[in-house]
Structure 1
Amino acid sequence: MSDNPRSGTGQLSGTIGISVWGQVGLSPEAVIRILLGALIGFLGMAWSTSFMPNNPAVPLILPSSIIALIMAFRFGGAGALGAAAAHGLGLWLFSGASPMAALIASTGLGAAGLAGGVLLARMGFDGSLETVRSFGQFVGVGLSISAAGSAVASVVPLFGLTTGLPKALLLCWISDAMGVILFGPVGLLLTGPNPSARQIRYVTLWATGSAVITYGIYAGHLDATLARPISYALFPLMMIVAYKGGYRAATGAIAAIAVVAITCTAQGKGPFAHEMLRPNILALHANLLMLALTGLTLAIARHQQRDAEATTHRTLLKLARANRLDALATLAAGIAHEINQPLTSSNAYGRAACRLLPDDAGSEPIQQAIDGMIRSNERAAAIVRQFRAYLRETPDRFQMIDGVAAIKEAISLIDPDLSRQNIERVLSLPDDPVPIHGNAVGIQQIVINLIQNAADAVEAAHPHHGGRIDVRAQRSDATHHLRICVNDNGQGLPDGQPDRLFEPLECQRPGGSGLGLAICRSIVELHGGSITAQKRPTGGAEFIVELPLAET
């Protein structure tokens, strides 16, 4: 969908009047969708008025009001205007209404649709019918404001204040209400986020199959005594579609069944074509209403069941990860105790060696080497302490640090290894300091681990030359984060879920421990950030770390 807020999210802005008259901010894609919606509304009027009985002359099914509601919700006032224009033109051309009556009816329909769209947006409607709450919101607004407002605006100009007005209002509302139930769900689907080609084929297959089966029942080839009982076979069919195909398949099947069944019944065919046109269609409406509610209710229940299963699965994975991290924390405590002692002893021997060196120019290189050894030992001890702290999820000495400086320090430590491996390293960092509330050693560990992993992947793909690693950092004041990206042109990521790479003991390369990325994620999450991985279109992998900026 477009980035325009009226074309994808359904969240209408407060400047509805501007979008009605000026169509400000509408993307070309949104304009095309509005025109297609208006065309569908116009064809819907031609279809619904083709079997309109007299006394009163009210169509027995009207998709116009629900089209106006959906178009207003998705595209704002411009969408409601397009639907209203199509409705008015259809009334004038196909129902014999006067231009003035068609204008009044279309204006009322557009206003009702716009009011309903604004109300849905204010209610926080998410644009789908995959929960009981969203289904209730959509149907409630559709049956009340949209259908009732459209019925009043359409019937009063045509019938006036006569004795036949109440009956005409009721019949018109029923026609609009059936349009809401039968065609509203598929309308939301068609105007929502672009589905994949596979989803389109899947929904088309279910809808086509349902239409073919419905035509076999309603085409008039069956004996009248068998047609009515056999028509109820559509209920188990709808249950299968909803359970196996889900919400999208159910909405397509409902609309396809409704079009075929209503068209055949209006032509005097099928199990409900035994009396006059209006009683036949009203009886069919009751059947289709139960069918649609059955399919939608089962589809919603199935969707919520799958959501609950997915949530349970994620919870179990988190518990398993927590158990593994607890085990690692216990192991880290023992490792830290065992390693800190020899590191402390090594530092003591180094300082003693410095004191024993003669105070002359010839001992200066030895002094520098020993000082470097001591600094490395102290860094190793700090890393062990940080390892324990992050596995236990307790911040250790968080303070205001410069994120850029921490990255530069990490780069200086890993650069010699990259040079030995003949790997080109490209660095792009902000010129100004970027304040972060955290731990500099932890940030350096993240960068070093990611670069080491990238170096291993690059060396495997380019053993001698041609390897490249890009390290970029960028401050984003819009999201209030420091974004760190590490790209490489190595072997890329394995197929499957990238998040599994960050699980403890989940290793995808020979010789790896399976702890590096897990530690990175623990450090990042302790800083309140996030880390993700993805394949690069040109080959290789990209790891993205986002750390929140410090409050200033």
Structure 2
Amino acid sequence: MATVTRQPVSLELPPVLRVSLPHVATLVLYLLLTTWASQFMLDEPPVPLLWPATGIGLAMVYRFGYSIGFTLMVAGTIAHTGFGADFWMAVILSAGAAAGAMAGAWILHRLDFDFRLERVKDVLLLLLVGALVSAFVSGLTGTLAMVGVTSAFAETLGLCWLADTMGVVLFAPVLISLYPRQPLRLMRTVRAAGLISVVPAVTYLVYAGGLPDHVALPMSYAAFPIALFLAFRLMPAGVALATVLGAMVAVGCTVLGKGPFAQAADMRPDLVSLFVQLAILQLTALLLVAIRHERVEAERRARDHLRTLARVGRMNAMSTMAAGIAHEMNQPLCAVNSYAQAAIRMLDRRAEPEALAEPLRRIVDGTQRASDIVKRTRHFLETGEEDRTLCDINALVRDAAAFMKPEFQRHQIRLQVQTTDARALVDADGLELQQVLVNLMQNALEAITGLGTGSNHWVRVTTALVPGKHQVQVTVTDSGPGLPDTDVSTLFDPLVSHRDGGTGLGLAIARSIVEAHGGGISVTNSGDSGAEFRIVLPVRTNRE
């Protein structure tokens, strides 16, 4: 049966289109949205209550460069002359909007601003710079051009600034953060489009005029939980687009005298109240999606940091065991050398070919053993992605003990392993749990080594199922001096070491690994011996 593989759609544009497309998009968006916003024009002073051009200009100049400023002037001149302004007035108004957009983009480029809006800092920077710089410059230029320094200056400047600020709040986030994070996939795109369409659809139901006034006003807040839901499902551009579409529906219905905010003959107070609600909605949604991304990024950094610390711990353990590994490697290499010399002597004596079979077989066995030691050591040092599988805890204990055995033999300390006969499977990353076991055995070894040589020095590792619970307990006990009572409470804290030359990371990493596997680790002083570390891990039942 043939397998159909769905390939993501990847669009590669020619260089000419890549250069010209941002200018064409800026021109088209500018003319379409300003034409739509001209329906909300006041008679006196003649300013709109919502001006998308400021948000469009700020986003497009930041994303595609200052050359977009010329396109903004052309688009603004065309738009304002179409609204009835004379040519030079249109040039002045469009120049002020372009200057505000370039000033805001210049400031954002010099701040630690990321256009993806995945940090709370970026959302606040965009809105503050857009409102205090781009909107103010554009509004000030428009006010001076229309009324000059007259008694109407303050009122006109306030209305112009509000219109430009709403253009920034509503339209800048979606345009500045819109970029293909991943190759386009049909189902993902359709799903996102369906979620985005919910906000304008619900807004239309509330504002179309079918609901009583006392019901429509509280229902206007229905967009908030929907936008908050989308913040956990979509990227910032998708959330901002949903809010913009809902806002355009709400504003259009209000201008037509429909909805909870169309209650007075003068639409100015109604639209101002609506704008405040829409601005809060946009800000809340963008902040929430930024918080979500910051949390995801913080968790990723924490995982990377844990892996780094784990690798440092493994490297530190390997440095202390280098002599034991060299001793373990020396045995098979010496055996290979001895059997190879024996085979050469047999050849010099012209021995029968059959007589060479045994030394050659011994050489193969010795090289295989050396290869296994190298592979085991490299595997212990590897860091890769977490790979959890069903692991036999008894096998992990035996492998860790085999890894440490040469070091114990070198110090003439007995390493005793007692595993349970019952089946004990854990869902775990075997390499990480082996690291924990090796770390505990190494600590026990160092605690005993400080006492000097003796025949009664030992380390015991045991496994046992916890009665009445789906858990297995691994115990590492030594015959050392034990731990002072004052040290037990801080033993697993990072960067806290209770022995000379310790880094204070080993036990902290061990606790992090064990807890990440749903278990726990503790330590007490054994009654007639030294310290006793206990690891408790959940085991899979036969049903699971």
Question: Which category describes the TM-score, using the shorter chain as reference length?
Answer: 0.5 to 0.7
* AA of the residue aligned to 1:56: P
Query: 2:340 corresponds to which residue?
Result: 350
Query: 1:430 corresponds to which residue?
Result: none
Query: 2:24 corresponds to which residue?
Result: 35
Question: Which of 283, 288, 309 is equivalent to 1:298?
Answer: 288
* AA of the residue aligned to 1:230: M
Change over 3 Å in CA distance of 1:202–1:357 after alignment to 2:
closer
Counterparts of 1:327-346 in structure 2, within 5 Å, are: 337-346=327-336
1:253 to 2:242 alignment: yes
Report the alpha carbon displacement of residue 386 of structure 1 after superposing the two structures with TM: 6.1
Query: 1:181 corresponds to which residue?
Result: 169
Counterparts of 1:420-431 in structure 2, within 5 Å, are: none
Aligned residues: 381
Question: Which of 37, 41, 65 is equivalent to 1:48?
Answer: 37
What does the per-residue CA deviation read over 1:414-456, in whole Å, with 9 as the maximum and x for residues that have no partner? xxxxxxxxxxxxxxxxxxxxxxxxxxxxxxxxxxxxxxxxxxx
* AA of the residue aligned to 2:281: L
Question: Which of 157, 161, 165 is equivalent to 2:153?
Answer: 165
Question: Secondary structure of the residue that 1:233 maps to in structure 2?
Answer: helix
Question: Which of 196, 200, 208 is equivalent to 2:189?
Answer: 200
* AA of the residue aligned to 1:282: V
Q: Which moved more, 1:163-172 or 1:57-66?
A: 163-172
Contact 2:178 2:237 in 1 (8 A): no
Query: 2:208 corresponds to which residue?
Result: 219
Contact 2:329 2:370 in 1 (8 A): no
Report the alpha carbon displacement of residue 287 of structure 1 after superposing the two structures with TM: 1.4
Question: Secondary structure of the residue that 1:127 maps to in structure 2?
Answer: coil
Question: Which of 60, 64, 67 is equivalent to 1:75?
Answer: 64
Counterparts of 1:70-469 in structure 2, within 5 Å, are: 70-94=59-83, 96-190=84-178, 196-197=184-185, 198-245=187-234, 247-275=236-264, 276-314=266-304, 337-351=327-341, 353-354=343-344, 358=348
* AA of the residue aligned to 1:104: I
Change over 3 Å in CA distance of 1:288–1:505 after alignment to 2:
closer
Change over 3 Å in CA distance of 1:175–1:202 after alignment to 2:
farther
Change over 3 Å in CA distance of 1:111–1:199 after alignment to 2:
farther
Change over 3 Å in CA distance of 1:353–1:238 after alignment to 2:
closer
Contact 1:332 1:387 in 2 (8 A): no
Query: 1:523 corresponds to which residue?
Result: none
What does the per-residue CA deviation read over 1:233-290, in whole Å, with 9 as the maximum and x for residues that have no partner? 2222322222344534421221011101111111111111112121111111111122
Report the alpha carbon displacement of residue 375 of structure 1 after superposing the two structures with TM: 11
Change over 3 Å in CA distance of 1:298–1:349 after alignment to 2:
closer
Q: Which moved more, 1:380-389 or 1:271-280?
A: 380-389
Query: 1:414 corresponds to which residue?
Result: none
Contact 1:68 1:84 in 2 (8 A): no
Change over 3 Å in CA distance of 1:146–1:27 after alignment to 2:
farther
**Aligned equivalents of 1:195, 1:59: Cα separation in 2:** 39
**Aligned equivalents of 1:336, 1:388: Cα separation in 2:** 14
Query: 1:60 corresponds to which residue?
Result: 49
Contact 1:73 1:121 in 2 (8 A): yes
Question: Secondary structure of the residue that 2:232 maps to in structure 1?
Answer: helix
What does the per-residue CA deviation read over 1:365-402, in whole Å, with 9 as the maximum and x for residues that have no partner? 9xxx9xx99999998898678668756769xxxxxxxx
Report the alpha carbon displacement of residue 150 of structure 1 after superposing the two structures with TM: 1.3
What does the per-residue CA deviation read over 1:332-359, in whole Å, with 9 as the maximum and x for residues that have no partner? 9877644531321331343355467659
**Aligned equivalents of 1:122, 1:375: Cα separation in 2:** 67
Change over 3 Å in CA distance of 1:199–1:392 after alignment to 2:
closer
Contact 1:112 1:145 in 2 (8 A): yes
* AA of the residue aligned to 1:305: R
What does the per-residue CA deviation read over 1:203-243, in whole Å, with 9 as the maximum and x for residues that have no partner? 32222111111011111222222221221222223222223
**Aligned equivalents of 2:381, 2:182: Cα separation in 1:** 41
Report the alpha carbon displacement of residue 166 of structure 1 after superposing the two structures with TM: 2.0
Gaps of 5+ in 2: 1-8, 392-398, 400-430, 432-544
**Aligned equivalents of 1:192, 1:308: Cα separation in 2:** 23
Report the alpha carbon displacement of residue 165 of structure 1 after superposing the two structures with TM: 2.0
**Aligned equivalents of 1:36, 1:133: Cα separation in 2:** 28
Question: Secondary structure of the residue that 2:178 maps to in structure 1?
Answer: helix
**Aligned equivalents of 1:317, 1:51: Cα separation in 2:** 57
Change over 3 Å in CA distance of 1:188–1:157 after alignment to 2:
same
**Aligned equivalents of 1:149, 1:252: Cα separation in 2:** 26
**Aligned equivalents of 1:305, 1:118: Cα separation in 2:** 29
Question: Secondary structure of the residue that 1:77 maps to in structure 2?
Answer: coil
Change over 3 Å in CA distance of 1:355–1:244 after alignment to 2:
closer
**Aligned equivalents of 1:192, 1:77: Cα separation in 2:** 22
Contact 1:347 1:377 in 2 (8 A): no
What does the per-residue CA deviation read over 1:115-144, in whole Å, with 9 as the maximum and x for residues that have no partner? 222221222322111111111221122112
TM-score scaled by length of structure 2: 0.59
Change over 3 Å in CA distance of 1:374–1:68 after alignment to 2:
farther
**Aligned equivalents of 1:235, 1:54: Cα separation in 2:** 33
Q: Which moved more, 1:318-327 or 1:57-66?
A: 318-327
Change over 3 Å in CA distance of 1:381–1:117 after alignment to 2:
farther
**Aligned equivalents of 1:200, 1:117: Cα separation in 2:** 30
% identity of equivalent residues:
33
**Aligned equivalents of 2:290, 2:311: Cα separation in 1:** 31
Q: Which moved more, 1:161-170 or 1:261-270?
A: 161-170
Contact 2:231 2:285 in 1 (8 A): yes
* AA of the residue aligned to 1:144: L
Contact 1:91 1:97 in 2 (8 A): yes
Q: Which moved more, 1:244-253 or 1:177-186?
A: 244-253
Change over 3 Å in CA distance of 1:375–1:83 after alignment to 2:
farther
**Aligned equivalents of 2:387, 2:139: Cα separation in 1:** 58
Gaps of 5+ in 1: 8-24, 395-498, 508-512, 519-552
Question: Secondary structure of the residue that 1:232 maps to in structure 2?
Answer: helix
